[in-house]
Amino acid sequence: MRRPVQIMTLLIITLAIPLVPAEAQAPAPPREKNCVGKANKAKIQAYIVLLRLRYDIYAKWKETGVWPDDPEANKAIEGHSAYWTEQLKSGRAITAGAMNGDYWDNAAIIVFEAASPEEAETVMKNDPAVKAHVFQAQVRPFDVFWVTNKFQPGTEACSEANPQPK
């Protein structure tokens, strides 16, 4: 007989919990706001490789409007993409991009980390499209003062009207 009383008491307590006023419940902690800003804490000493498509390939492409059917160049460019994807996955590559438009001197850039100028030169020379002379390339020291964190989930623009929590 004692068992039904325990079950009934438990049932009454369970049903009564939602009746406790909201003020008596602990408030939810405020959501931490993540404002757009610097993702890196300090300057990153890096290198930048400047890449330009070999002019004869560019000229054929622009003259016809069709990418030249050059199996060697295509293979080198596929290798280039795979090579820099691996550099990204290993944590070496920081960012990459290319100029957009119809300019003879269109260039692409890749910013990456290396321990020395010699290592940076080796990284650049190991790019399959550079090895195959499909891209002309130069590497230079490049200081990255900040990288944005705006692509991290939950990051939003903050301003005087929408300040970052202290």
Q: Exposed e or buried b for every residue in 105-137, given b needs 16+ CB within 10 A?
A: eebbebbbbbeeeeebbebbeebbbbebebbeb
**Band of residue 12 on the pLDDT scale cut at 50, 70, 90:** very low
Domain membership flag for residue 29: no
Assigned domain for 90 exists: yes
Question: Which tops the pLDDT comparison, 155 or 21?
Answer: 155
| Residue positions counted in the chain | 166
Span 53-63, mean pLDDT? 88
Does residue 137 form part of some domain? yes
**Where does the pLDDT of residue 158 fall: very low under 50, low under 70, confident under 90, or very high at 90 and above?**
confident
Q: Residue 88's domain spans which residues? A: 48-143
Task: Name the DSSP class of 147.
Answer: -
- Please report whether residue 40 resides in a domain: no
Number of independent structural domains in the chain: 1
Question: Phi/psi at 93 (nearest 5 deg)?
Answer: -75, 140
Q: How far is CA 5 from the centre of its chain?
A: 61
For residue range 82-101, list pLDDT tens digits in order: 999 999 999 999 999 988 87
Q: Is residue 26 included in any domain, yes or no?
A: no
pTM of the model: 0.72
CATH code for the domain of 81? 3.30.70.1060
